[in-house]
Amino acid sequence: MIDLRDYERKIRALFTYCENFARKNEAAGRGTQWPTFRQAASRMKCTYDELEELVADYQGDGYMGVGVGYQVGGLGGGTYRIKTRGEYVIEAYD
């Protein structure tokens, strides 16, 4: 049986990690850069499938979603061909 409180904590922890990851990059002058699936899975100790479930189940006031784009140094963004699922990014913001 899934402990829903634990599941909610994981969702909030993922949101916080992704949002803080972006803010740290912004503060360092690198623009808004979101963590990849690979980075988030390593940090959260879960699989890519579990990450997708956590993102899909997010019900907070902000936004959390899977993205396939990038931003370079705050100079604008774009999209490119993703070669592996680990390169997807998770955007999270209030």
Question: Which residues does 56 contact at the CB level (< 8 Å), separation at least 6?
Answer: none
Structural domain spans, the chain:
4-93
Predicted structure pTM score: 0.83
- At 14-71, the pLDDT tens digits run 999 999 999 999 999 988 889 999 999 999 999 999 999 999 999 988 999 998 765 4
Residue 73 — φ and ψ, nearest 5°?
A: 55, 30
